[in-house]
């Protein structure tokens, strides 16, 4: 018969503790010496019970922690707070380390006397290693994201609030982390896109399909815009709940500019090839047509000789009128072929180095007459405009064509402005022109403007938007062909309802010697309120080879000085309106120091000096009445 063994509760508890192998559970006396030891402690720490009982528990701590007093602090904390819990490195018997989770509880008897401490230790090294690896991985990822400067990478809350920010985002968008954290990402959008619901659409699409991708304008902190490629990805937790969005933005502004430049270059190349092909075809037709006209013209001449002057005797008057009509038709055909040859760049040119400003001012009267009373006509010339090599007669014709076109675009009136300036161009900045220095002549109007499709065809021969009978469609094509033949380019800038600006670019002649000497004709401005004296002075200066401008008073003179190059100011001292001659001379010297100045007066010089003092002595002076020799001698003194 088997004897039944009875265990007390205390014994059962003791067996329970001793049998646990996943936890080190042991007792310490009030001073920290080990008084019990279980299987788990043996497994974790490597000590048998007989090796460790009676030893101080501090031997499980590392040297660093013992030196820092951590064992004593653990006991003191447990006594003070009723419990001590921590994690840290502990040392096994063989000297190896493990990461331990430690709980230390004080134990009292029924009378509240401290009996010692219960210590529970668990080896959580594997968890620690896994956490460290995860933390290290997260740190590497954080460093990676923070180190990226070409992309803005940041997180958004489900509502679109910025929750983190990398260095690339700061570089691209200009906001520091402190500036932007907690702000809504919609501030990066333009006003137009915000009004159109762009930010909401981006988040909505990403939340619905998992991803949103687009390109568009975005706004930096300083208000400037950049062209961005944007990707928004929805981020979900383990349960599939939306926790936010990952947003990646790249600045593609330079790429967009390069793509646009390439597209523009391709369009320009296509246009140039098209115009070249049309030009070759037009030139061939013009030559053939010219030959046919020559046959007709010569035939009419022969008929005239054979008829032996019958026209003069009144015979066959009907036949004579028919022949005369044929001659006029041949003349019109000849002019047409010249226009076609101009477009085809096959006309003979008599090019010479000229000052563009002087060509414009010399032709100004004709240009003004091309307008009408309802059109305001302005000329704005840059005094420092370079010379250019050009056939001046054909250049004048080109300007006239542009002014006539501008006038026709403003049937109800407006303004035409002709301006000149120097231009430094980059490669293909204006059509197919190479980089370099150019002279720009622009004819600008405030007329109806042109749509893009009209601009694209404006230089084609016979293309016109005017009513039938109002134009041949050869005006702009002539200008285009002539300027291209001269090594330049013609550029149209226009919008419907906002007017048109047509700019001619000509290669500049910037040699100092040429700039100084290409134009030998100097310009004199004669300021005289007496018309007869004005005529005499103009005739005298013209006879000496000067280009003459006139003004009846100082106000007119100042207006001329502002808009035209003047080499010599020749002014009467006494004038009834505005400044007198000496005040005008002083104004000219202050504002146009390169202009030579001559004064004239019927008053003797001593009397004028008494009135005006030493100021008069600063300028060349000639007495009225003056002769050619007086002017020539005084002019030599001003050189």
- Over the chain (639 residues), what is each successive 10-residue block's mean pLDDT? 51 56 85 89 88 93 94 94 93 92 92 91 86 73 64 90 88 89 93 94 93 92 93 89 90 85 66 55 56 63 61 57 70 59 51 82 80 85 85 80 85 90 88 88 90 78 52 63 81 88 88 46 85 82 80 89 88 82 89 89 72 72 77 71
Pair 553, 578: CB distance under 8 Å: yes
Which residue, 457, 358, 444, 357, is CA-closest to 405? Answer: 444
pLDDT at 382: 86
Cβ atoms of residues 495 and 449 within 8 Å: yes
Q: Which residues contact 71 (CB under 8 A, 6 or more apart)?
A: 32, 56, 57, 58, 61, 65
What pLDDT is stored for residue 287 in this prediction?
Answer: 56
Point out which residues pair with 154 in neighbouring strands.
247
Q: Give the CB-side neighbour count of residue 290, counting CA atoms within 13 A.
A: 16
Alpha helix ranges (H) inside 308-352: 317-343
Q: Where are the beta strands (DSSP E) in 399-487?
A: 414-425, 436-445
Compute the distance between CA of residue 634 and CA of residue 618 in angstroms, rounded to an integer.
14
- Nearest-CA neighbor of 442 among 514, 494, 496, 365? 494
CA distances to 385, 451, 483 from 393, in Å: 19, 31, 13
- Backbone φ and ψ for 118, nearest 5 degrees, come out as -95, 125
Q: What integer pLDDT is reported at residue 517 of this predicted model? A: 43
Predicted local confidence at residue 189, as pLDDT:
94
**pLDDT computed for residue 472 by the predictor:** 47
Dihedral of the CA atoms 339, 344, 346, 349 (nearest 10)? 60
Which phi and psi angles does 360 have, rounded to 5°?
-65, -50
163: Cα separation from own chain's centroid: 33
Which pLDDT belongs to residue 389?
A: 85
Rounded to the nearest 10°, the torsion over CA 481, 482, 485, 491 is -70
Q: Residue 385 gets which letter from DSSP?
A: P
Number of CB atoms found within 10 A of residue 296's CB: 15
CB atoms near residue 14 (< 10 Å): 14
Contact 85, 103 (CB under 8 A): yes
Q: Closest Cα partner for 530 from 574, 466, 592?
A: 574
Of the candidates 478, 269, 312, the one whose C-alpha atom is nearest the C-alpha of residue 391 is: 478
For residue 219, report the phi and psi dihedrals to the nearest 5 degrees. Answer: -120, 130
Q: What is the pLDDT of residue 497?
A: 84
């Amino acid at each position: 018969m088997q004897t039944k063994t009875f265990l007390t509760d205390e014994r059962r508890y003791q067996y329970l503790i001793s049998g646990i192998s996943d936890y080190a559970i042991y007792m310490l006396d009030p001073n920290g010496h080990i008084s019990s030891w279980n299987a788990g402690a043996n497994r974790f720490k490597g000590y048998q019970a007989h090796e460790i009982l009676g030893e101080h528990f501090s031997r499980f701590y590392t040297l660093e922690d013992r030196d820092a007093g951590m064992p004593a602090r653990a006991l003191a904390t447990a006594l003070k707070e009723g419990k001590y819990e921590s994690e840290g490195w502990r040392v096994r018997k063989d000297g190896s380390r493990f990461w331990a989770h430690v709980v230390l509880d004080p134990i009292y008897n029924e009378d509240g006397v401290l009996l010692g401490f219960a210590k529970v230790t668990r080896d959580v090294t594997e968890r620690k290693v896994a956490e460290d690896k995860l933390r290290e991985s997260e740190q590497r990822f954080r460093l990676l994201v923070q180190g990226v400067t070409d992309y803005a990478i940041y997180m958004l809350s489900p509502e679109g609030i910025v929750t983190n920010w990398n260095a690339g985002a700061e570089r691209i968008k200009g906001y520091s982390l402190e500036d932007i954290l907690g702000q809504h990402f919609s501030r990066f959008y333009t006003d137009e896109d915000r009004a159109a619901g762009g930010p909401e659409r981006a988040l909505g699409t990403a939340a619905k399909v998992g991803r949103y991708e687009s390109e568009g304008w975005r706004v930096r902190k300083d208000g400037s815009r950049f062209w961005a490629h944007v990707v928004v990805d929805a981020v979900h937790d383990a349960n599939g709940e939306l926790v936010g969005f990952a947003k990646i933005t790249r600045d593609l502004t330079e790429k967009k500019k390069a793509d646009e430049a390439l597209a523009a270059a391709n369009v320009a190349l296509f246009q140039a090839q098209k115009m070249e092909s049309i030009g070759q075809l037009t030139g061939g037709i013009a030559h053939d047509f010219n030959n046919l006209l020559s046959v007709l013209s010569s035939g009419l001449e022969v008929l005239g000789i054979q008829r032996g002057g019958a026209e003069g005797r009144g015979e066959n008057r009907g036949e004579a009128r028919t022949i005369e009509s044929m001659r006029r038709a041949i003349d019109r055909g000849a002019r047409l072929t010249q226009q076609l040859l101009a477009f085809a760049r096959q006309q003979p040119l008599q090019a010479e180095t000229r000052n563009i400003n002087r060509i414009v001012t010399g032709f100004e009267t004709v240009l003004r007459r091309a307008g009408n009373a309802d059109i305001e006509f302005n000329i704005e010339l840059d005094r420092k405009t370079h010379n250019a090599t050009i056939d001046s007669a054909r250049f004048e014709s080109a300007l006239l064509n542009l002014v006539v076109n501008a006038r026709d675009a403003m049937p109800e009136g407006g303004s035409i402005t002709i301006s000149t300036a120097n231009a430094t161009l980059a490669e293909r900045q204006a059509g197919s022109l190479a980089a370099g220095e150019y002279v720009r002549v622009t004819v600008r109007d405030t007329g109806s403007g042109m749509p893009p499709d009209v601009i694209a065809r404006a230089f084609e021969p016979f293309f016109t938007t005017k009513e039938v009978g109002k134009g041949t469609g050869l005006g702009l094509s002539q200008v285009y062909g002539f300027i291209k033949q001269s090594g330049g380019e013609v550029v149209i800038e226009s919008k419907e309802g906002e007017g048109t600006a047509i700019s001619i670019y000509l290669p500049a002649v910037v040699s100092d010697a040429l700039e100084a000497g290409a134009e030998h004709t100097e310009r004199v401005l004669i300021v005289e309120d007496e018309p007869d004296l004005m005529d005499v002075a103009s005739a005298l200066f013209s006879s000496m080879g000067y280009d003459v401008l006139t003004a009846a008073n100082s106000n007119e003179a100042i207006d001329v000085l502002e808009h035209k190059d003047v080499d010599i100011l020749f002014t009467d001292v006494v004038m009834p309106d505005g400044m007198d001659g000496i005040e005008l001379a002083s104004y000219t010297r202050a504002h146009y120091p390169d202009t030579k100045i001559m004064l004239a007066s019927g008053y003797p010089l001593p009397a004028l000096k008494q009135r005006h003092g030493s100021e008069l002595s600063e300028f060349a002076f000639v007495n009225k009445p003056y002769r050619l020799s007086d002017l020539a001698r005084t002019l030599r003194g001003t050189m």
